[in-house]
Structure 1
Amino acid sequence: MRIQAQIESTLQATFVPDFLQVDNESHMHNVPQGSESHFKVTIVSEQFADKKLVARHRLVNQALRDELPQIHALALHTLTPEEYFARAGKVADSPLCMGGSQHG
């Protein structure tokens, strides 16, 4: 199973989210074509209610403990349904890659 599919399956099973989007952003970085190394996850779940951002991220990292060794970068947007609605489903864009040999 591809890493993106593993991430989606694990988060779906763990959080039963109202919304889940896993974007492979590897193409935005200095990696070989077809890589699965950089991901952006937007997950909306009631399980994040009354939890600070660090606690939410720890929950996701714990759920993805088997996948994390294969991932170089993971951007997390962990929201409650109310927060997601208030933002009209918008989350921040990932920054442009400044690493590797692209800017050397």
Structure 2
Amino acid sequence: MSNVVADAAGISAYGSTEAAVAAQIASAGGINVAAVAGILTPVFGALGTEHLIATLIAMSTNLFETGQVSAVHAGQAAAAYGSAAAYTATDLGDAAEFGAIGLNL
């Protein structure tokens, strides 16, 4: 078996990046819907209400989908943080075991 080396700090940094991406995607989805609704309402007015409603339904679907993408990135962040914690705990536990038998590595 080959040696496995895991950089817990690097994995945590990846988790932080994924968390930031998740927040940015979620924010962009909400801003997009609000902007489109604000622009289209005066353009179509009362005569284009059906088109406006259809567009807003489509934008709501888009918001839902961006929420799904954001959730995937948030899940990646959580998994990265969990992995980093597990690697760190394993390393500390192994170091304690080695120290207990007199091996100072």
What's the TM-score, normalizing by structure 1?
A: 0.23
The structure with the largest alpha-carbon Rg is 2
Which protein is richer in strand relative to its size? 1
What's the TM-score, normalizing by structure 2?
A: 0.23
Higher RCO, 1 vs 2 (CA within 8 Å, ≥6 residues apart) = 2
